[in-house]
Amino acid sequence: MLTKEAILGAFQFRHACKQFDPDKKISDEDFQFILEAGRLSPSSFGFEPWRFVVIQNPELRAKLKAVTWGAQGHLPTASHYVAILCRKDDMRFDSAYVDHFMRDVQKLPEDVIKMKRDRYQKFQEHDLRLLESPRSLFDWACKQAYIALGNMMTVAAMIGIDSCAIEGYDQEATETVLANASVLDRKNFGLAVMVAFGYRNKPQPQKTRQSLEDLTVWVR
Amino acid sequence: MLTKEAILGAFQFRHACKQFDPDKKISDEDFQFILEAGRLSPSSFGFEPWRFVVIQNPELRAKLKAVTWGAQGHLPTASHYVAILCRKDDMRFDSAYVDHFMRDVQKLPEDVIKMKRDRYQKFQEHDLRLLESPRSLFDWACKQAYIALGNMMTVAAMIGIDSCAIEGYDQEATETVLANASVLDRKNFGLAVMVAFGYRNKPQPQKTRQSLEDLTVWVR
């Protein structure tokens, strides 16, 4: 049903769409499907650091446009525009969020919670040295968000919906705009990345990529 | 052909598979397909910071096992085991790699190269402050790799192949093992993440996730 040819066809269809047809809107059902692919994405220890803020309000989009050089064509035309937030200190091994998460979402028994927390602590403190700085912890949470980001763009392409990931913004100014709009609690969240969805209004440019031979090393 | 139901079915099928059937191997054609999804993944400015090292050699896998607590079940049983590397200083706006990339891979004309490099410089120095430390630049490159990682796991699931992303390793010790095996040039690359592929030998556990309502905020 899902053939390799059709799947790779979607990867060829996907491109960084710079501007959308402002008259074509993604149906609620299709957009729920895109969000669902984000929701079902894997994350480290399964702790889902992300939150999806869908920005449809024209005034907020206009404010974002002033600080987001990378979305000048997207913000006015995207059918759906998403800011992906990630948790900051909440991701620490000793946070109330992680405790709540293991208990109430993952529904782990008490002894497994203890074991998992110990492991997670060593992982953060030692293995990847994630607690080196607040930024290194946040960047790590954001890495997980990029899995969700990728999956959302991929499944969109699979049903003929265009997208563009957007990193071209002033982090400080953009977080301020989102905080002032009361959709970002800067104490606990930061902006990981943004992504616009819609339908292209121009043919896509030629895709360029390194060859698989240049990218891959085999140790047999 | 690619129906939403079948696509989400693959997201339900995918789980962090802890151990594979050691007797079932992924065909060359299927594994090329998985790599191809990585290759065709999007990256910031299109600069493809990643490299895929496919580790099939049992001796190297054994050495990795000693420093990778998170892959104790995977390393001995995975059909294919991949270390995804990312570039470090090569990703700087003023590197020879970026220059080569725009010229020889993206085949941009001279005036566009200049414009893009200026924009990229401002992006790195100011917008996201990526040059704050070598780690922040590398972590940013790794974020892109997580898009490829996610896509590879997703398309694998779509053709019935299991996977598990692996972050559970000692960064320093693991990079040393890879460097000693001559597959990691630590001056120019670091280890972003690892991922194992194969076929499950146990039923998958119940998937837990927060609800879409808990994860999503709409600004209408």
| Residue A115: predicted pLDDT | 98
Q: Is residue B124 part of a domain?
A: no
Integer Cα distance of A148 and A126 in angstroms: 26
Angle made by CA atoms B154, B159, B160, in degrees to the nearest 5: 90
The DSSP code sequence of chain B is ---HHHHHHHHHH--B---B-TT----HHHHHHHHHHHHT---GGG---EEEEEE--HHHHHHHHTT-GGGTTTTTT-SEEEEEEEESGGGSTT-HHHHHIIIIIS---HHHHHHHHHHHHHIIIIIS-GGG-HHHHHHHHHHHHHHHHHHHHHHHHHTT-EEEEE--S-HHHHHHHHHHTTS--TTTEEEEEEEEEE-BSSPPPPP----HHHHEEEE-
Closest by Cα among B43, B40, B23, B44 to B32: B40
| Residue B1: predicted pLDDT | 74
Average pLDDT over chain B reads 98
Q: Is residue A150 part of a domain?
A: yes
Q: Average of pLDDT values for B80-104?
A: 98
The two three-digit tokens of residue B108, written as one number: 């941009």
Q: Is residue A49 part of a domain?
A: yes
Question: Chain B contacts of A16, Cβ < 8 Å?
Answer: 42, 46
| Residue A1: predicted pLDDT | 74
| Residue B190: predicted pLDDT | 98
Residue contact B40–A212, C-beta within 8 A: no
Integer Cα distance of A12 and A1 in angstroms: 19
CATH of the domain at A58: 3.40.109.10
pLDDT tens, N- to C-terminus, chain A (220 residues): 799 999 999 999 999 999 999 999 999 999 999 999 999 999 999 999 999 999 999 999 999 999 999 999 999 999 999 999 999 999 999 999 999 999 999 999 999 999 999 999 999 999 999 999 999 999 999 999 999 999 999 999 999 999 999 999 999 999 999 999 999 999 999 999 999 999 999 999 999 999 999 999 999 9
Nearest-CB residue to A208 (from B107, B139, B169): B107
Is the whole model's pTM more than 0.90, yes or no?
A: yes
Q: Residue A178: is it exposed, middle or buried by C-beta count within 10 angstroms (0-12/13-18/19+)?
A: buried
Domain that holds residue B157: 23-91+135-215
Q: Is residue A121 part of a domain?
A: no
Check CB contact of B182 with chain A, cutoff 8 Å.
Answer: no
| Residue B121: predicted pLDDT | 98
Residue contact A215–B39, C-beta within 8 A: yes
Q: Is residue B12 part of a domain?
A: no
Check CB contact of B112 with chain A, cutoff 8 Å.
Answer: no
| Residue B11: predicted pLDDT | 98
Q: Is residue B106 part of a domain?
A: no
Question: Chain B contacts of A132, Cβ < 8 Å?
Answer: 135
Q: Is residue A118 part of a domain?
A: no
| Residue B219: predicted pLDDT | 98
Integer Cα distance of A192 and A167 in angstroms: 9
Locate the chain B residue with the closest alpha carbon to A219.
Answer: B55
pLDDT digits (tens, 9 = 90+) for B22-71: 999 999 999 999 999 999 999 999 999 999 999 999 999 999 999 999 99
Q: At what angle do helices B4-13 and A28-39 cross, to 10 degrees?
A: 10
The ipTM assigned to this model is 0.98
Integer Cα distance of A218 and B9 in angstroms: 31
The two three-digit tokens of residue A177, written as one number: 């705009």
Nearest-CB residue to B159 (from A4, A183, A219): A4
pLDDT exceeds cutoff 90 at B85: yes
| Distance (Å) from the alpha carbon of A219 to chain B's nearest alpha carbon | 5
| Residue A3: predicted pLDDT | 97
Strand order in the sheet with A216-219: A216-219, B50-55, B80-87, B189-198, B162-166
| Distance (Å) from the alpha carbon of B130 to chain A's nearest alpha carbon | 11
| Residue A211: predicted pLDDT | 98
Q: Is residue B100 part of a domain?
A: no
| Distance (Å) from the alpha carbon of B69 to chain A's nearest alpha carbon | 10
| Distance (Å) from the alpha carbon of A39 to chain B's nearest alpha carbon | 7
* CB-based contact A158:B117 (threshold 8 Å): no
In chain A, the number of structural domains is 1
- Mutate which: A146, A185, A189, A194, vs B, most B CBs within 10 A: A146
